[in-house]
A and B are shown apart, each in its own frame.
Chain A
Amino acid sequence: MKEIFTDLYNKVLEFFTKTEEKESSKNVARNRLKLVLMQDRTNLNPQLLERLRGEMIELLSKYVIIDKELLELNFTPEDEQLALMLSIPVIRAKNEEEIEETIKAEDEQKAKIAKLLEESQNEDESASEEENDKDNEVAGTDEKVEDSDVKNIEESEELEKVEESENDCLEETDNVESSDGSVSERKFHSGGQLKKSKKHKSKNKETRKEENNSDVQDDNKPSYIVDNGNVSSYIVTNEGNMSEERK
């Protein structure tokens, strides 16, 4: 008998307090609106975000093996500001040899591209072509390789012609030498730092930062810091810095 009464009491109570607990669509609206307004105000469009994501994957996969499919890059409101949240599912860190390998491969690629760039600059249509190259570089490594390969074939004939003119030839060799020098220097530099980062995993972020700074050298390119609690990453936009570096 007592049970029936308590049950009844609870039901009555539930009826009268129901509206208070109802999930409010107002809060949903407010939160959605806050986010969308922050995006509107920052002018960050999906294309840019996608590019950022692509470059970030590229950079991160230099040091760790990550699940590219699950990598998330999102905006979240934090207090009054808009935070760029990056969630990186790490499968495992690369070992030193692997890192050395990727860096080596990348540097070789860069040097190759830079060389081609320098050469193409000396040509008549250089101005327009250079821009295209830069754009392609930013678009991603895959394209980079293809692009340079294709260019290699296309321009090999033209390059010979260019090399015949004395002034151009001198400039070229100078540039190539300097680029080689900087490459080897950087290799050594980054290698040393990476040892450190293996020992102190907590300092990973800083070492990565340094590494990347040395990569960009004196370039005043904008950089983004993305922080997601314990997983952090640092990204440098390297739009066209390869060619500028060697000028």
Chain B
Amino acid sequence: MTGKVLVITSGKGGVGKTTTTANIGTALAKAGNKVVLIDTDLGLRNLDLLLGLENRIVYTIVDVVEERCKLKQALVKDKKNPNLCLLAAAQTRDKTAITGEQLKSICEELKEDNDFILVDCPAGLEQGFENATAGASEAIVVATPEMSAVRDADRIIGLLESKEHIKKYNLLLNRVRPNLIKTNDMMSVEDVVEILSCDLIGIIPEDTGIITSTNKGEPIVNDEKSLAGQAYQNVAKRIMGQEVEFLNIDEPKDIVSKIKAFVLKLLKKESK
């Protein structure tokens, strides 16, 4: 078995890299793939929290690199899905504790008996980014439809393009708010895609369920009803090579806008 190594990156912090990693990983595992998630955010680890595995971590990636344990010992199995494992980051060390080469060899080893290895990249452009991308062949660039996030994503795309081993990169647009797009108060998905000229792999709507799911330590893809969960599920399917249409993420209208839309329709008819 040779697995695929994907890095989830963004440049800007707080756009949802870790949430994306946790959800795509869970969705891929639910579909029957063997998945390992690697947290490379040394010193600021959070992927364990989102998966609800914070109490099970014994060894971290630094322990593996410094040969205090075997790679298999450091993999923490998910509570629900035995196909999903986490290789946690060390909380007490900084980004220089591992090198890109070391991460690459870890990825190579994990590739042998896993389908997907998802690397959660830290924010920023420095060593952390270099490490996280070193072993990957594909990248998912997470951005929100805000200026700062798009600008940083553009920088990241530029850097990814300069890396020969990254064969493919796609954009995942997170925290999209259809109501704001409708009133022209937020850049639309098309706008961002046009500006970044990058293929889309997913559109995730803003969802308050993300907060509750983080509180519980359970990725939102486990909630079948959630729109964000469904969107993440679709991203996982696309990663697996399936063609899935983008989800209709339009929010239900409130009563005033409903009436407005109705009257506008009537007015248009009349003017005809």
Residues in chain A within 8 A of chain B (CB atoms):
13, 16-17, 19, 22, 24-27, 29-30, 32-34, 36-37, 40-41
Contacts and interface: CB of A to CB of B under 8 A. Distances in A.
Contacts of A25: 184-185
Contacts of B188: 26
B247 interface: no
B185 A13 contact: no
A4 B261 CA distance: 26
Q: Which 8 A-B pairs have the closest CB atoms?
A: A24-B184, A26-B184, A16-B263, A33-B147, A37-B154, A30-B191, A26-B187, A29-B147
Given A26-B191, A41-B158, A16 B184 contact: no
Given A19-B183, A22-B183, A26-B185, A32 B263 contact: no
Contacts of A37: 150-151, 154, 195
Nearest to A80: B197
Nearest to A24: B184
B244 interface: no
A188 B177 CA distance: 68
Contacts of A24: 183-185
Interface in B181-195: 181, 183-188, 191, 195
Interface in B159-195: 181, 183-188, 191, 195
Contact of B264 (A17, A29, A33, A36): A17
Nearest to A13: B267
B155 interface: yes
Contacts of B260: 16, 19
Given A26-B185, A33-B147, A33-B151, 16 more contacts: A16-B263, A17-B264, A17-B267, A19-B183, A22-B183, A24-B183, A24-B184, A24-B185, A25-B185, A26-B181, A30-B187, A33-B187, A36-B147, A37-B150, A40-B151, A41-B154
Contact of A40 (B155, B181, B191, B267): B155
8 contacts: A24-B185, A33-B147, A33-B187, A33-B195, A37-B150, A37-B151, A40-B154, A41-B154
A26 B195 contact: no
B158 to A, nearest CB: 7
Interface string B107-131: 0000000000000000000000000
Contacts of B264: 16-17
A22 B185 CA distance: 10
A17 B191 CA distance: 24
Nearest to B185: A25
Contact of B151 (A19, A26, A30, A36): A36
Nearest to A20: B264
Contacts of A36: 147, 151
Task: Give the secondary structure class of A's interface.
Answer: helix
A22 B184 CA distance: 8
Contacts of B181: 26
Nearest to B263: A16
B145 to A, nearest CB: 9
Contacts of B191: 26, 30
B248 to A, nearest CB: 20
B171 to A, nearest CB: 14
A191 to B, nearest CB: 49
A30 B195 contact: yes
Contacts of B150: 33, 37
A11 to B, nearest CB: 13
Q: Most chain-B CB neighbours within 10 Å: which of A24, A26, A36, A40?
A: A26
A41 B161 CA distance: 13
B126 to A, nearest CB: 18
B260 to A, nearest CB: 6
Contacts of B187: 26, 29-30, 33
Contacts of B195: 30, 33-34, 37
A25 B191 CA distance: 13
Nearest to A16: B263
Nearest to B188: A26
A206 B242 CA distance: 58
Nearest to B180: A26
B228 to A, nearest CB: 22
A33 B194 CA distance: 12
